[in-house]
Structure 1
Amino acid sequence: MEGMRCSPACSAVVTHRRRSLGDDFFSRRGRLRQMKVSASANANSVADSTKLVTFLGKGGSGRSTAAALAAQYYASEGLRTCLVVHSQDPTPNFLMGCEIGTSPVTCNKNLVAVRLETTKLLLEPLNQVKKADTRVNLSQGVLEGVVGEELGVLPGMDSIFSALEIEKLTNSLGRKRKDPGQTYDVVVYDGTSTEETLRMIGAAERARWYLKHIRNMAEKTDIGRLTAPSVLKLITESMGSSGVSIDGKTSTEIWDNIEQNLQKASAFFTDPSRFRSFLVVDPRSQLSISSGLRYWGCAIQAGARISGVFGFSSGAKVPEQFSPLAFAVLPYSFGESTVEWDKMVSALSDEAKSILDWSQFGSAQPLVRFDGSKRTVTLFMPGFDKSQIKLFQYRGGTELLVEAGDQRRVIQLPSGLQGKVAGAKFENASLVVTLR
């Protein structure tokens, strides 16, 4: 990356968390079967252990098929599994052999499936806001005239509402559930597209950025000080069903509570003991492989790790191109009418089971490395080259803002490394940034 300037033109990708980014997230957690929870276990502890699995890849690579196979595999291991479909594609109906609707339907032993429809998901939060508005009287009754069934879906709503629904299913915030009996060991999410899934993964972290600026405006402007208390009360009252109470709380405490919830949701996707994301590629197609590599980098930008790569055929170059990720071939033997899942699951290779097992957390490749002696920050950025990465600095050199793959990430620099960028180069799928 010689000659790359470090102003609004250098670049980088990364993961920024308040925990040390150099931490090794790949410690062993025990075998998959240890996830089983006895029927008499406390419902909240069951909810707290719920895992989320998703698949990323180019359209036509087999994402939905891989998701269905993974759901069948986890269910066969005795784990209560829920396959969540967020699209109108009828393929999952064929794969699962059942009509998937907006209420959970049993498809196999230990396995249910449900389809998310954003138009219907709009209704519940709107009703909650209406009830809260009745108590705080912010809209003076105007909201009561809004009929939820009249509202349509706007661009971007799919990611927002899928994130809210996934939070309910996984209980990533540890809130009290309306229906403690409806809990799962594993939730397998098959999203509308890889791009929308990545938006969902990064939604909480991005929301924290907005919250910081909105809070600053609310606390330091006349209109903010005037309107913020009522708006905050409406928002918090709308969340009242989760057990949140604002009695006796100051605006500062309410802001802090919202910040903490967003931080919890964001941390969920960086925790390999709770969230797993896999790539699916067609080894026969270089375009599919290139897309997989790019999505690998985009997932890192969104704040998630990739735990392995799957394909429905072998490819000699795939393991090398995706190294150090593990690669496995999935069985594909569908008939014309029904899928024989028992045979499919039995045909899973040891390599595939090893990748799916929760004792394996993917490559130990650190996403960010800080070197105080060399004053460098090394950012692992597979799927990108130097022309696709931009690096910016603001706030006196205390952080790096990395733009790549239509995603932006903020990297907080350790106190001993804070300073202006002196140079950057790209090598071994990583951007090495030198600081003054």
Structure 2
Amino acid sequence: MAPPFADRIVQATIVLKLAMTRIVTLLGATAEQQTALGLAIAQWFAERQQRTLLTVPSPATSLRFLVGYQEESIGWQPKFLSERLAIAELLATESVNTVWQELSRLVEPYLPQELVGKVYAGELVILPGMDTLLTLNALRVHYSSGEYDVIVYAGGNSQETLRLIGLPQGLAWYYRRFQRLLDQLDLNAIANAIGGPIASAMMAANIDIQKVQERFSEAKEWIDRGVRIAADPKRLSVFLVTDGTAISIAQTQWLWGSAQQVNVPISEVFCLGKPTPEVSSTFAPLRVSALPKDWSDWQALVSHLPNLNQIGAAPAPYKFDEVQQQVRIFLPGFRKEQVKLSEFSGELTVEAGDQRRHIELPPSLKGKPVRAGKFEAPYLIVSF
């Protein structure tokens, strides 16, 4: 039976809100500079009647000082600085509570009764590597709420931010690579092969394979959605930040190439101070906007920001030329010796920028051996 008309209107409204939500993040510069610029960007959107949330990882020390909260914590729940601007601190301990509650509901049907409810969120310890997953989930929760038009994430650590925004694509590869194994999963056969008390425990759990596969399908839908968002500059805008020094230019250019490795187009470059000819040439064809060198006055930065609703054109991370039987992979900031190419299971694997990326080939190229690979900066050209 179809839901009532009013319910369909509500559902359509929620979908529309989610479709319009935009995530903005920064790569380059210091954590303090990113926080000040993130606050200015959030204020820019709020002044244009966009419901905006600025999120920062814990501890939010810089943000507390910038907004005058020196003696007051910001916390997990968003706090409003104005009618349309809120700020939140992404606390791992609070995020793991939310995650565990959701996870418990998912796994409860498959666990023996004596285990259900015996592990509490409040006792879970945060392990190394969990922060990225928890941050992504926290952003997902805010994104899915439909309460914000723009979510600004000032992560501070650019390499971790790259891992974060590249996580859906990485998970998509793992799902794609092991999907056949999951489809052929036969726990009864595994239990019989193992034998002993472990087999007895697996059989006693009475796991419903159909439900397990349904959960995997739900996860796949969430992963695919994340991949689509990351590749769409209208939904995920990533800005590079440099102070114009030689070291900063080199580091920011490396981040540019690394962003291509996670299939995320860069929207623009912000230069703290007047851009030099080297800055303009290094980051061509991206738009470069000058900001005051004194970034500590975040309110002064707002008036110097360009129109952030005008998304600049950026080169595609890769392009297939099926006539020439080639793939052109855009890798700015790297040298030939920094790029490694290989092929596995009908996909190209490119290593650069401490990232490993897999490119699915179209049917016309899949299965064909790589004939040649040459690096003509900023492109890696692969011929079949």
TM-score (norm 1): 0.75
Which amino acid in 1 is paired with 2:140? Answer: E
Aligned partner letter, 1:322: F
Given candidates 170, 186, 192, the residue that maps to 1:206 is 170
Q: Counterpart of 2:152 in structure 1: which amino acid? A: V
Question: For residue 388 of structure 1, what is the amino acid of its counterpart?
Answer: Q
Q: Which residue of 1 aligns with 2:282?
A: 321
CA contact (8 A) 2:265 2:314 kept: no
Matched, 1:170 2:143: yes
Are the equivalent residues in 1 in contact too, given 2:31–2:157 (CA < 8 A)? no
Q: How does 1:168-317 map to 2 (within 5 A)?
A: 168-171=141-144, 177=145, 183-223=147-187, 252-283=213-244, 285-316=245-276, 317=278
- Give the Å deviation of 1:385: 0.9
Tell me if structure 2 keeps the 8 A contact 1:217–1:224. no
The 1:292–1:126 alpha-carbon spacing in structure 2 relative to 1, beyond 3 Å, is same
Higher relative contact order by CA 8 Å / sep ≥ 6: 1 or 2? Answer: 1
SS at 2:273 equivalent = coil
SS of aligned partner of 2:315: coil
Structure with more of its chain in helix, by fraction:
2
Q: Provide, for residues 70-122 of structure 1, a one-character-per-residue CA deviation record: whole Å limited to 9, x for no partner.
A: 01111111111100011314111122334422111111341010000112211
Q: Does the aligned pair in 2 maintain the 1:53–1:275 contact within 8 Å?
A: yes
In the alignment, the residues of structure 1 paired with residue 32 and residue 242 of structure 2 have an alpha-carbon distance, to the nearest angstrom, of: 5
Q: 2:113 aligns with which of 134, 140, 144?
A: 140
Q: Tell me: CA distance 1:231–1:274, structure 2 relative to 1, closer, same or farther (3 Å).
A: farther
Per-residue deviation, residues 274-312 of structure 1 (Å, max 9, x unmatched)? 1100001110x2111111000001111112110010022
One-letter code of the match for 1:305? P
User: Where do 1:351-362 residues align within 5 Å?
Assistant: 352-354=305-307, 356-357=308-309, 359-360=310-311, 362=312
Is residue 2:59 matched to residue 1:88? Answer: yes
Aligned-residue sequence identity (percent) comes to 31
Query: Within 5 Å, which residues of 2 pair with 1:67-106?
Result: 67-98=38-69, 99=72, 100-106=74-80
- Residue 374 of structure 2 is matched in structure 1 by 425
Any conservation in 2 of the 1:56–1:295 contact (CA below 8 Å)?
Answer: yes
Equivalent in the alignment of 1:108: 82
Question: Would you say 1:152 and 2:113 are equivalent positions?
Answer: no
User: What is the CA distance between 1:218 and its match in structure 2?
Assistant: 3.5
TM-score with structure 2 setting the length: 0.84
Q: Which residue of 1 aligns with 2:357?
A: 409
1:44 Cα deviation (Å)?
4.5
What is the letter of the counterpart of residue 263 of structure 1?
D
What secondary structure is seen at the aligned counterpart in 1 of 2:364?
A: helix
Deviations 1:202-237 (A, max 9, x none): 111211222345543344354486669x79869xxx
Q: Distance in 2 between matches of 1:186 and 1:304?
A: 18
Question: How far apart are 1:192 and its partner, in Å?
Answer: 4.6
CA distance in 2, matches of 1:255, 1:121: 22
Q: CA RMSD in A?
A: 2.7
The question of 1:372 aligning with 2:335 is answered no
Q: C-alpha distance in 1, partners of 2:16/2:186?
A: 45
Report the Cα distance in structure 1 between the residues aligned to 2:360 and 2:206, rounded to whole angstroms: 31
2:214 & 2:84 partners in 1: Cα distance? 42
Q: Which amino acid aligns with 1:319?
A: S
* 1:407, distance to aligned residue in structure 2 (A): 1.2
2: CA distance, partners of 1:198 / 1:224:
40
- Displacement, 1:432? 1.1
In structure 2, C-alpha distance between the alignment counterparts of 1:318 and 1:282, rounded to whole Å: 9
Whole-angstrom distance in 2 between the partners of 1:231 and 1:209: 30
Residue correspondences, number? 356
> Unaligned stretches of 5+ in structure 1?
1-40, 172-176, 235-248
| 1:142 match: secondary structure | coil
Q: 1:345 aligns with which of 302, 314, 336?
A: 302
Aligned to 2:4: none
| Equivalent residues of 2:175, 2:220 under 8 A apart | yes
* Superposed displacement of residue 157, structure 1: 1.0
Deviation at 1:150, TM superposition (A): 2.4
- In the alignment, the residues of structure 1 paired with residue 121 and residue 215 of structure 2 have an alpha-carbon distance, to the nearest angstrom, of 28
Q: Tell me what 1:49 maps to.
A: 20
User: In structure 2, what is the equivalent of residue 240 of structure 1?
Assistant: none
By how many angstroms is 1:369 displaced?
A: 2.1
Cα pair 2:35 2:156 within 8 Å, conserved: no
**1:104 and 1:112 in contact (8 A); partners too:** yes
Distance 1:255 1:288 in 2: 42
**Cα drift, residue 253 of structure 1:** 4.7
Q: Distance in 2 between matches of 1:273 and 1:401?
A: 27
TM-superposed deviation, 1:48? 3.0
Instruction: Return closer, same or farther for 1:138/1:385 CA change in 2, 3 Å cut-off.
Output: same
